[in-house]
Amino acid sequence: MPKLIPPHLVQGLEAATADQLARIEILGVGYGLHWEELDTDLSIPGLLAGLFDTKAFMARRAGQATSPAKAAAARTPSLIGLKAEEIPSDGSFG
């Protein structure tokens, strides 16, 4: 079965086996997917929009991503939120 949906990113499917994923039901006129054994339902429009489940689950998944660029950005001071007069004229940060 080709993987069109990344199961490791989808709440309820992240730990599913290939056999469990294969036991899928199509709901209604094709707008939903259902895995009885996993007690998981997904909507096709939601998947196409990149919504793999709840906001809290997606936020936890996003927070797990690490990269050298992300680590460097977290250590870099930001000018966001500063008033114009608070920005050093030479661009340095005290």
Residue 2 lies in a domain: no
Residue 53 lies in a domain: yes
Strand ranges for the chain from DSSP E: 25-27, 32-35, 40-43
Q: Residues 4-58: pLDDT tens digits?
A: 777 887 888 888 999 999 999 999 888 888 999 998 888 888 877 777 665 666 5
Residue 94 lies in a domain: no
Q: How many domains are there within the chain? A: 1
Residue 37 lies in a domain: yes
* pTM listed for this prediction: 0.53
10 Å CB burial of residue 51 (0-12, 13-18, 19+) is: middle
Return the amino acid letter for 13.
L
Instruction: Give the range of the structural domain holding residue 75, as residue numbers without chain letter.
Output: 7-86
53: domain CATH number?
3.30.2020.40
Residue 1 lies in a domain: no
Residue 51 lies in a domain: yes
Asked if residue 90 has pLDDT above 60, the reply is yes
Asked if residue 94 has pLDDT above 80, the reply is no
pLDDT range class, residue 75, cuts 50, 70, 90: low
* Residues 21, 37: Cα–Cα separation, whole Å: 9
- Specify whether the CB–CB gap between 10 and 42 falls below 8 A: yes
pLDDT score recorded for residue 1: 40
DSSP 3-28: -SS-GGGSTTTTT--HHHHHS-EEET
